[in-house]
Amino acid sequence: MDLARQLGGALVSFDGNQHTVVLDGNPCVDDVVTRYFIDLEMPETDPHC
C-alpha cells in the first residue's frame, strides 16, 4: 500500500488464490480496472474485492 501511495496510485486487492484476476470475470476488479484504462478514473478508496 505504501508503494501505491508513493506513486500516487491506488491498491486494488483481491481475496483469492489465482495469479491474475483482471478481466477474468470478477466485476469488482474489472470495473475498477476498466474505469482506469478507459477514463483514467482512479478509485476514491483502495478497493478490496
**How far apart, in Å, are the Cα atoms of 38 and each of 2, 3, 45?**
25, 23, 19
Give me the residue spans of the domains in the chain. 2-39
Residue 37: pLDDT above 90? yes
Residue 30: pLDDT above 90? yes
CB 12 within 8 A of CB 47: yes
Number of DSSP helices (H) and strands (E) in the chain, helices first:
2, 0
Residue 17: pLDDT above 80? yes
Helix (H), strand (E) at residue 35 = helix 27-39
